[in-house]
Structure 1
């Protein structure tokens, strides 16, 4: 019976352990390097998929709605995220605009699409086509979704801008704040569980 238990390998020191089901609040740590091996998660595949769909809807709203409106001498100017990116490009800040577009739009969008693709098939108890490549891509994209950095930077900029402009917060900034919370939940989910939840079927 012990030989049939799945294995758990520490990503930092390659120590191999026998995996067991964790209770609520439990965290498995490596005995050699004290790295976190696994956390207990309450969310099942269906709940994770619903979370991805919610994040996609909020993501669309965050990119369609204006972020902030600035007023000066009776003139009001509002912009979306893409409006700010295009403005930076036109002001000869191409590198900054490309980094903003990648980390605030393309990388988060790619992560949500890949995760939704994998979870859609996982709900049916099978692996999605290209499952291995999708899981590797999700692992690589993880550190590059920086919506939370954008929200913090935008809030700091808004506080400073209030000295010179009339500042009105638009729905886009609140949508990005909600998206940040959802991405934080994503970050706490150990996607490696999907390897065991949807085992590869033998031909």
Structure 2
């Protein structure tokens, strides 16, 4: 008879046997009731699909203008990186670095790391450093603040609309879609599926 796998509760450290679950079911600790793991269907496939979609929207959001302002016959548009450089030119260096890090660097690193993990797994290949890469994703994920940037941008658009004509650009819509796809990828990602799908490297 095959030995059952033991799993430790992340809250109280109670060791208990891992059991098979129905789709979308959740295993709870017998002592404290904390969630041990959940059973997903095609979770890694959905995560990979939404991550690839996020990469596409991220590229669109950084290439095309965020919005165009028209005032008294003149027109001006800017990209996200243009907004960062504009903040820097106004000596708002700390704000410029914050926007650069939270809306460009961190999301780009998160998506690259997730693709490094998921693409080889989907192809059945082994890559080194998966555990370290996963820890890196968990560490930087809270610093990706696309939602906060979108909220601030929408507030600015509403205020500017009272004094100028504001025309949303492709990047603005792309950022909205990016916010959705990143959230969906995080929702469908189940770390347990990742560890079960990995083979020992080397």
TM-score range normalised by the length of the shorter chain? 0.7 to 0.9
Aligned to 2:112: 113
* d(CA) in 2 for partners of 1:101, 1:13: 40
**Cα offset, 1:2, TM superposition:** 7.0
* Cα separation, partners in 2 of 1:135 and 1:148, compared to 1, 3 Å: same
1:7-26 correspondence runs (5 A): 7-10=7-10, 12-26=11-25
Aligned to 1:4: 4
* Cα separation, partners in 2 of 1:36 and 1:155, compared to 1, 3 Å: farther
Aligned to 2:69: 70
Determine if contact 1:59/1:179 at 8 Å carries over to the other structure.
Answer: yes
Aligned to 2:194: 194
Aligned to 2:171: 172
Structure 2 runs not aligned, ≥5 long: none
Aligned to 1:58: 57
* d(CA) in 2 for partners of 1:6, 1:182: 34
Aligned to 1:128: 127
* d(CA) in 1 for partners of 2:43, 2:149: 30
Q: Which has the higher contact order (CA 8 A, sep 6+)?
A: 2
Question: Aligned-residue CA RMSD in angstroms?
Answer: 2.2
SS at match of 2:191: coil
TM-score, normalised by the number of residues in structure 2: 0.87
Deviates more, 1:151-160 or 1:110-119: 151-160
* Cα separation, partners in 2 of 1:13 and 1:78, compared to 1, 3 Å: farther
* d(CA) in 2 for partners of 1:35, 1:63: 41
**Cα offset, 1:118, TM superposition:** 0.9
TM-score, normalised by the number of residues in structure 1: 0.87
Structure 1 runs not aligned, ≥5 long: none
SS at match of 1:4: coil
SS at match of 1:195: helix
